[in-house]
Every structure is written in C-alpha cells, then in structure tokens.
Amino acid sequence: MEKRFVVTQCRFHAVDRTKLIISGWMGVEETDSVGIKVMLDKEPLEYHIEKKINTGIAMMEMEEGRTRPKYIYAVHVTLPEDWKKKRELQLTTKDSADENPAKDFQISVMKLKKKVKELEYRAKCKKYEDQGFMIKGWCVCLAHVDITVKDEKGRTLPVEIRRKKNADIFSYYPECTEEDVYGFEILYRGELPGAVYVSMKDGDRSSRYGVTLKNTPVKKVTQKIKKYSVKSVTYLEKYGIQDVYERVKIKLSKKEFNLYEHWRRIHLPDSRELQQQRMTSFEYAPKFSIVVPLYKTDHVFLQEMIDSVKAQTYSNWELCLSDGSGKPSPLEDELKRYTAEDARIKVVSNETPLQISDNTNKALEIVSGDWIAFMDHDDLLTPDALYECVKMMNEVPSTDMIYTDEDKISMDGSDFFQPHFKSDFNIDMLRGTNYFCHFTTVRRDLFEKAGVLNGEFDGAQDYDFVLRCVEHAECVKHVPKVLYHWRAHKDSTAENPESKLYAFEAGARAVQAHYDRVGIPADVESTKYLGIYRSKYRVTEKPLISIIIPNKDHIDDLDKCIRSIEDKSTYQNVEYIIVENNSTDKATFTYYEKLQKENKKVRVVRWDKEFNYSAINNYGVSFAKGDYYLFLNNDTEIINENCLEELMGYCQRKDVGIVGARLFYEDGTIQHAGVIVGIQGVAGHAFAGQAHESPGYFGRAIIAHDCSAVTAACMLVKKEAFDKVHGFDPKLAVAFNDIDFCLKVREAGYLVVYNPYAELYHYESKSRGKEDSEKKVRRFMGEIETFHEKWFDILDQGDPYYNPNLTLNENNFDLRQ
C-alpha cells in the first residue's frame, strides 16, 4: 500500500497569505498510521488535514493487483511570522514500521516568497486561424484586477475584456467566495501575433500568462520540412536547430569589426543610468570590503584599479590593500598618497615578501564590511559592479554569495575581449572548473564559516575558497552582467596559462579536498585543457539498471545497440526491456524470439497502440525491476566500456535525478552535449555539429555540469525521481517529452547532469518516419503550443544554466544581438 504523500500542488491560501496548502494523495484511508510532519528548517509547524475522495480521478492500480480509490488530502500549514528568513520547508511521512521518515516534499523559501506574490489564475487560449484569438480564464483577487495584453514586441493589443462567472474554481479554491473570483474572456480580432502575453495585477500580487501563436500556414511548414528532408531531417532540425552555423564577419573600413566591442557599447549603462544609480537608496545598503593583494604592482595598473573602485556608483565601500612586496616597497609612497586622498582606502604593509594567500589574508585582517569582495591588483571593476550586487541582495535577501560575468582587457586598456557569460549556480560545473572567478563577493558570516585562504592551494587559492564557501552557502546568486575586466598580459593565467602550471595542479587538489569534505566518493584528475578537471565517481555497488528501448523493426540497429553493451560494458547488472511498437517485418519477431532465448536479461513487451514516445516508455517502466531506468534509443551504441559507470556515478548522488551523455553523429561530430531551453523558441542541443574534440564555450562540452534537460536518447533516471513526477507526459507524444520530463524532475528538486565522459554514437531516429506529413506537422505544432503553455516561465525568464546575453537563434553560444 502506498503510504508516501504524493504532492500534486503547493499553493498559498487564496485569501489568507499566512497559510500554505499542500495537496496530494496517499493510498491509505486514514492518516493516523502515517506520521506526517511539516517542518521549516527542522522546526515543526502547525497544520490540519482535510480529506476527501477524489471521484474525478481514475482508480489507482496497486502493486498487489487490487484497486482502491485515491484519497485526496489537503495539508493546511500555518506559517510563522519570520518564515521568509528561513531556508526550506519539508513535508515528511513516517510509517510506524520505518525508522526514518521519508522526505516526500520540499520547497525552498526562495520559491515560496515568489509564490506568495503570485496571483492565482487559470487561462486557456483558443486561436481563430489568422483572424484573432480568445483567452478564457479566471484569477483570485482581493481588490481590483488590472489586465493588459501585449504581443511579442511589447505592443499593447486592442482587446475586448468581458467579465464572466466561473463555477469551476470553487473545486480548486474552496476558500473563495464569488466576490473573490474574477472570471474573464479576452477577445482579440485582427492579424494573429506571434505570441501574446496577458499580465494580471492585483495590488502587490501579479501573474503573467503567455502563449505562442503560430501564424505560418501548415502547408508552408510542410513544404519547408519536405525541402530539408532531402538533407536528412534530424532530431535537431525538428527542434529548429541548424547543424551548421557560419559566422558572418562584418568588416568596416577593410578591418575586421570587433563584434563584442560593438555589443559592449550598446549594453553599457550610459551617464544618465549611472547617475540614477548614484541616487538610488536601497533598503539594505551593506558595506563592501574589497580585498586586493599587491605585489610590486605596476603603477599605472594600480592607479587604474583604484580609480575603478572610486568610480563606483554605490559608495558604501572600503578598499583593503595588502602590500606584500616586502621592504623596501616600490609602492610605499604611492599608497600613502591614496590613503590620504580617500579615507575608505586602507593599507597594511608587510616587512617580508608574501605569497598570494598570506598576502590576501593580511588584507582580510583589516576588513570591517558586511560583504567581502575579491579583486586582483591589475584588474578593473565596471562603475556599476557594486550597485548590481546590492540590487541582487535586495531582490533576494537570503543571498549570501554573488558572482558576475567578466571579460578581459588588454595591457593598454584599449581592447575588451573574451567575455565569459556564465551559468547560474551550477555545482557540477564548479567542480569541473572555477567558472565563478571574477567578480565574487561573499557575506561576512559566510566568510567566517569558510575561513581564510589556504596557502597549500596557492595558484588556485581562490578556487579552494569558493568551494569552501558554497559548502556553507544557503543562496548563491549570479548577476548576468560583465562587471569585471580581467587584465591579460604575458605573466597572467588569463592569456598564458602554461606560465602557471602549478596553479592548475593546485586546482585539482582543491576539488579533491572539496569532495573529501562533503563525503562524495570521487577522484579528480586534470585534463589536457588546463583549468578543466574530470571527476570520476566511485561506483562501489552496482544496482540493477533497467534499460528500456522502444523498437519498431530496424533489428540491425537494435542488435548493435544491445551488443555494444553486452560486449563492451563493464557494468553488467542490467535488464533489457524492449518495447515492441507495431513492427511489420516478420524478421523482427523472429529476432525477438532468438534474442530472448540467448539472453535471459532481455524481455520483449508489446505496445499495440499508436506511436506515443511518452506512453511507450511509461509502459516499459511498468515491467522494470531496477532502481534506475536507462532510457535508450535503439539507434545508439556505447563507445567507452565504463559508459554506464559514468552515468551511475552521478545518478547515485541523492541530489541527482537524471544523468545524460555526450552523443556523437556517425561522422564523429557532436550530436548532444546537454539541452538549452529557449533555443529557437523551444529547446535545442548545445554544440550540435561541432567537432568531436571541441571543448565548446569555455569548455562546457567537456565539463560535467548541471543543465535544464538532456535527451532521452540516452538518459539514466533514478526510479524515485521518475515516480515522483509520474513519468513522461503522454500529451507530448513525439516532441519535447524528454525536455518536459527533465523540467518536471528539476521542479521536484533534483539536478539534471550532463556527463561528457559517458559517450555513445546516436544514429538518429531511424525507428520513425520524417515529420513531413500535414498531420504530423499539425501534431508537432500542437506539441510546441503545449510545451509553451506548460513551461512559459522558463521560456520567458530564460534557461538558468544558459545566459541571457547569449543568442537563442543558434546553439553556438554566440552573442545575442
């Protein structure tokens, strides 16, 4: 009997925002035998449970073969006054026979703070060809609701808004009265826009509903797909990603035009914006202590560095300099002049020359600020660097660590190049390279927990420090703006990495020390790309992996797929579940019989309905015995013998739900290195079509990292995570089902990891025909619309593991123009 609490909804009480309602079901009629606890950072909260039988949901098939009704429960939680200062809310259940409670649901306070400001609503859009649309819906209001409708270009549309009653809401929100509900019909007549966005605002609560409206005639789309089918319609083309992208070189006056310089001028804050920043008064206005170790610093570089700090539009700072040059110091007189000119500049002098860690620690001894920021002696801050950090702190008060984007500046300060537009917090990427780098600032109490810089890691002392900080941090935020200029010269690792090989060796040791501290069994080794590290997770136990392979004919491909695992893989505790999907060739069934006789690990199950990738895989799972499911296309072939160990190594971690692989086309070029949500309007594979050994943008193709999604052509999934989100969504029969599944798993609190060291060939969707019929195109476009409506927020706000400054038109991490 199912005694877990399966959460289906978490929302605030529509009227009383001090109450949270967590809805879900269990397979028990009474909750007395199940110890439910709701805790906020380990502190128990008061609650009461409301129970009813949900007659609107089909009967649930239990493991023992009997059917029982689903009992629906609503856990009404009263939040304390200081709940916004906490970290995480958890709901746990404990069977009387269990020693430890199961953590059935958890949600961060950061997400709750976002939810409390949201307006509860439901909406649905109906198109009328190219003649307009109607949006029907409702929202729960406390006062007056203002509704505005805009198109994808931000233009307000002339719509007619009618007030409508909606009785259905009361089954979802029984606490509401008729006065609390604003039902509406939005009618628009005219040329259909590409997308429409409905903004609803009620006091300090608001919500936004968006939907993509495609006005391209189906026949034109069909013709276009048929045209490209001659060149082999691949998975990515169906997602709208081109395999080859040729950069256009813009030339001006017969000289190559610097695209980044042009981009930078457009995006820099102008003098009026900077003045507005200086006049801004923040509710939280902390003091920054900017720590800089000096060592016989070039006088020009020192002057420019200090000037960049003094030019900050946010003025509550101190500059803490440690002169580690030793006596006599060439900087002594100059530093005395700086301290006399500005009392915010503090200097500590040292009798003997100091190494980088000791020198920085001396500067740390004189800090008095609320936040500590780190800067190199020859680098520059942009004028808005501190302002943007304080802005983030006020937007997300729980923030205790911030890093920003950065670029490089030439010796003479005339050229800016190699901008690094980074991912939001990405723990696995950080374990592969110090992508935080500059500009990083930490809250004072976090610094005190992490400790000072460790001289054992000189050369990578900042990497070691950052890893220690994230071990204690509650909220790490990323400001996606270039706020730091890293000086590049011949003695700097910025431009000549071979000059400091010891630094990269120290980096590997820093990551290993991190793993040892947090108790993760992994071994770290350097790669041929300096500053990029590979983590090999130790797989001491080898649990059963259920390999689920949908198949329709193409038995040569299927046989190659299975043989590659049987003959190459060193991980043999597997079972194969072949989901037969309407094959027509008699030879296929002969092969099935032979395969099952020869290999007792193989089981063939039959799917008799029409093709639906989601439903087929869910069906295959119903026969699985393993605690891990490997969803695998029949046209794949593993390359490395430890491929399954590489997948399992990451997936065995408690915080990971899905692990994906690096896939290659038959010609050896990259087919998949993670998925970016938002590429060409939906989602696409990163680095598709690039060379086999291409490291990708700042090494991302060869660094294990967290991402929003990976392809189900090869996807290892933890059973616990699969069950928690109820598998793949059958509404997405062909396209985007794997992306949708990954997003659901991430929403449930798990990480999705891309591991480049699990390598396979993918010979590309041979089991199905091309998307070149009008019926298939209509279905495909419908699935695009379903995906857009379901995941509007991430499409609107951007993939957190990508960067808003990078293009969504291509998959090559180029600048967004």
Give the pLDDT of residue 182: 84
Tell me the average pLDDT across 767-788: 67
Give the pLDDT confidence score for residue 811 in this predicted structure.
84
Residue 590's Cβ-count burial label (10 Å; 0-12, 13-18, 19+) is: exposed
Spatial separation of the C-alpha atoms in residues 522 and 503, rounded to whole Å: 21
Percent with pLDDT over 70 in the chain: 85
With tokens 């990323």, the residue in question is: 478
Query: Looking at residue 587, what is its pLDDT?
Result: 94
Residue 750 DSSP label? -
pLDDT score for 564: 96
Q: Look-up: residue for tokens 């649990």?
A: 543
Whose CA is closest to 246, among 814, 817, 692? 814
User: What are the angstrom distances between the C-alpha of 375 and each of 26, 347, 445?
Assistant: 54, 15, 19
- Is the pLDDT at 76 greater than 70? The verdict is yes
Distance CA 642, CA 648 (A): 10
d(CA 27, CA 35): 14
- Assess whether pLDDT exceeds 50 at residue 815: yes
Tell whether the torsion through CA atoms of 165, 166, 169 and 171 is positive or negative.
positive
Lowest average pLDDT, out of 228-232, 262-266, 373-377, goes to 228-232
β-partners of residue 607 are 581
Q: What is the pLDDT of residues 242-257, one digit of tens each?
A: 333 333 333 333 334 4
* Mean per-residue pLDDT over the chain, rounded: 85
- The H or E element containing residue 73 is strand 71-78
Q: What is the DSSP string of 261-324?
A: HHHHHHHS--HHHHHHHHH---SS-PPEEEEEEESS--HHHHHHHHHHHHT-SS--EEEEEEE-
Average pLDDT over residues 415-423: 93
Query: Looking at residues 254-270, what average pLDDT do you find?
Result: 74
Q: Band of the pLDDT at 339, cuts 50, 70, 90?
A: very high
**What confidence tens digit (pLDDT) does each residue in 159-209 have?**
999 887 766 666 667 788 777 888 889 999 888 888 888 999 888 888 888
pLDDT band at 386 (very low <50, low <70, confident <90, very high): very high
Looking at residues 207-216, what average pLDDT do you find?
72
Comparing 518-522, 561-565, 810-814, the range with the smallest average pLDDT is 810-814
φ, ψ dihedrals at 439, nearest 5°: -100, 125
* pLDDT at residue 628 is higher than 50: yes
Domains contained in the chain, CATH given = 6-116 (2.60.40), 121-212 (2.60.40.10), 271-495 (3.90.550.10), 545-797 (3.90.550.10)
pLDDT (0 to 100) of residue 786: 81
Give per-residue pLDDT as tens, 638-667. Answer: 999 999 999 999 999 999 999 999 999 998
Predicted confidence (pLDDT) at residue 498 exceeds the cutoff of 70: no
Instruction: Give the pLDDT band (50/70/90) at residue 752.
Output: very high
For 136-149, the pLDDT digits (tens) are 888 888 778 889 99
Higher pLDDT among residues 126 and 487, named by residue: 487
Most confident of 206-220, 487-501, 554-568: 554-568
pLDDT of residue 673: 95
Total count of residues recorded for the chain: 817
Model pLDDT for residues 96-113, shown as the tens digit of each residue: 444 555 557 888 888 888
Higher per-residue confidence, 778 vs 92: 92
CA distance 755 to 705: 7
Predicted confidence at residue 197, as pLDDT, reads: 87
- Higher pLDDT, residue 224 or 129: 129
pLDDT value at residue 446: 96
Q: Considering only 4-13, 588-597, 609-618, which range has the smallest mean pLDDT?
A: 4-13
Q: Could you list the beta-strand ranges (E) of 488-635.
A: 522-526, 533-537, 545-551, 574-581, 602-607, 628-632
pTM: 0.77
CB 267 within 8 A of CB 806: no
- The arithmetic mean of pLDDT across residues 699-727, rounded, is 96
Asked if the model's pLDDT at residue 600 lies above 60, the reply is yes
Distance CA 506, CA 709 (A): 32
Handedness of CA 563, 566, 568, 574 (dihedral sign): positive
Residue 768's pLDDT band (cuts 50, 70, 90): very low
For residue 552, the number of C-alpha atoms closer than 13 Å in the C-beta half-sphere is 17
Residue 33: band (very low, low, confident or very high) from pLDDT cuts 50, 70, 90: low
